[in-house]
Amino acid sequence: MRRLLLVLVATSCGTVQPLPDGGTTGSGGGTAFVLPQLPPPQNLAVFASIGAGSNKLLADVANARVEIDPTQSDALTALGECADLLSYCYAPPNFTLARCFASVKGCATQTPWTEPACCPAACRDAFTREVAAGLAPNAALDKVLFAEPDCFPGLRAALEAP
């Protein structure tokens, strides 16, 4: 008797995706799933040794201070989490940027910084439009999330605040 071993791995995408060839492999015709990896968990312990209070001083040079607040949650940090989901999902040739955009968790509200890591559907749609218009996927991602991030709720206002 032959045994079939099937391995499933959890992903940030939250869905099980078959291989592009329909998932059939080998002569046995069994279904195999190859999934991208999860972003690493955030470890805020490193900031415990960098001073007191919520803001942590990283540099103080020539009257300029660089501080970080690891507890901050806003449109910019939510954009970073979306970009993390996509970058950890991306594993060519099986997981293209288009496939990752289609499979990462979508945001349920207009305040993605109050949700677990997600990407707004408007960003996925904007990415799809840019690729359909002829932009390379990596250039479309850069344009949609970083150069012209209007698809991400609250981000433009956060970036343009005085």
Q: What pLDDT does 133 receive?
A: 96
Report the mean per-residue pLDDT for the chain: 73
pLDDT over 90 for what percent of the chain? 34
User: Is 135 in a helix, a strand, or coil?
Assistant: coil
43 pLDDT more than 60: no
Q: How far apart are CA 4 and CA 109, in angstroms?
A: 42
CA 28 to chain CA mean position, Å:
35
Q: What pLDDT does 46 receive?
A: 53
| Confidence at 37, pLDDT banded by 50, 70, 90 | low
- Between these two residues, 35 and 45, which has the higher pLDDT value? 45
Residue 106's φ and ψ, nearest 5 degrees, are: -85, 150
Q: Kindly report the three-state secondary structure assignment for every residue of 73-129.
A: CCHHHHHHHHHHHHHHHCECCCECHHHHHHHCCECCCCCHHHCCCCECHHHHHHHHH
Q: What pLDDT does 110 receive?
A: 93
Least-confidence region, from 29-38, 50-59, 60-69, 91-100: 29-38
pLDDT over 70 for what percent of the chain? 60
Q: What is the residue type of 146?
A: F
11 pLDDT more than 50: no
Global pTM value = 0.64
- Between these two residues, 62 and 12, which has the higher pLDDT value? 62
Residue 57's φ and ψ, nearest 5 degrees, are: -75, 120
Contact 150, 156 (CB under 8 A): yes
| Domain limits, the chain | 72-160
